[in-house]
Amino acid sequence: MKRTLFSGALAIFFLISCSTVPLTGRRQLSLIPDSQINSLSFQNYQQVLNESRVVTGTEDARLVKSVGEKIAYAVEKYMAEKGLSDEIKGFRWEFTLIQEDVVNAWCMPGGKVAFYTGIMPICQNEEGVAVVMSHEIAHAIAEHGSERMSQQLAAQMGGTALSVALQSKPEATRRLANTAFGLGAQYGVLLPFGRTQESEADELGLYFMAMAGYNPEAAVPFWQRMAQQGGGQRPPEFLSTHPAPETRIRDIKQIIPKTRKYQGRYVR
């Protein structure tokens, strides 16, 4: 009887600790206030920048920043139109290019995006950058980092509040955060989100591309180029939790018609 009551109470706790992802409507676990997860994210992002070679003043660096600002503007306008501005009020957008020859990009909670120079040749052009950028911004808007951190706090620390965990186990909690935000022990090593989150970022990213005036159909050749990386050996970490390339591209092609109603609606 006690176990049944406990299980019921736990189910209710997780039910009221859920939020909803914009556009897809998926319910997700959300145990951490935005202000706390964003503060931790901003600290970790700055640490990455301090320990990396940040590229500035180049055409690629300017392109990453420009595309990021265009898509962020479109997303902000969409969220405002839907009465969801409070969900991103703590965001501080930042778009950085890091000198490292790895095929990688990521986004921490609160809009902190990093590209690595190794992914730029695969992007090829502005629309290729927009494919990656919109996918990464989608992770932030869908709060995938916060969701994964919530899951890990629940699994490894019994649902301990983030503020308490940081006080009692600061180093362990920060390592947990890096994993939740997609960073490995060495920066530049991507620990991908789960397949549900990655596929959701693919879908949201296509909508965001369209909103900002980019052509979502550019996602198909981009992911084809990504799939060719590695010469048939281990794929880039960027792809490691996704479906097979042909499955992914098929799914993208099915979503593209749904993006048309958003095309160019929030061009900066």
Report pLDDT for 77: 98
Is it the case that residue 185 has pLDDT exceeding 60? no
- Encode pLDDT of 213-262 as tens digits: 999 999 999 999 988 885 444 455 455 555 677 888 999 999 999 999 99
Spatial neighbors of 59 by CB under 8 A, at least 6 apart, are none
Strand partners, 55: 97
Strand partners, 20: 27
Which range (6-10, 73-77, 202-206, 244-248) has the least confidence?
6-10
Q: Is the pTM above the cut of 0.85?
A: no
Report pLDDT for 84: 95
Task: For 95-145, give the DSSP string.
Answer: EEEE--SSS-EEEETTTEEEEEGGGHHHH-SHHHHHHHHHHHHHHHHTTHH
* Separation between Cα atoms, residue 206 and residue 266, nearest integer Å: 14
Report pLDDT for 32: 77
* Separation between Cα atoms, residue 171 and residue 19, nearest integer Å: 28
Report pLDDT for 86: 94
Distance of CA 227 to the CA centre of its chain: 20
Token pair of 126 as six digits: 């502005």
Token pair of 49 as six digits: 């920048």
Structural contact between residues 123 and 132, judged by C-beta atoms closer than 8 angstroms: yes
Is it the case that residue 210 has pLDDT exceeding 60? yes
- Encode pLDDT of 37-93 as tens digits: 899 889 989 999 999 999 999 999 999 999 999 999 999 999 999 999 999 999 999
pLDDT higher for 152 or 215? 215
Report pLDDT for 8: 37
State the average pLDDT over residues 19-34: 83
Length of the chain: 268
Report pLDDT for 54: 98
* Separation between Cα atoms, residue 133 and residue 10, nearest integer Å: 37
- Encode pLDDT of 90-131 as tens digits: 999 999 999 999 888 999 999 999 999 999 999 999 999 999
Task: Quickly state the pLDDT bin for 211 (edges 50, 70, 90).
Answer: very high
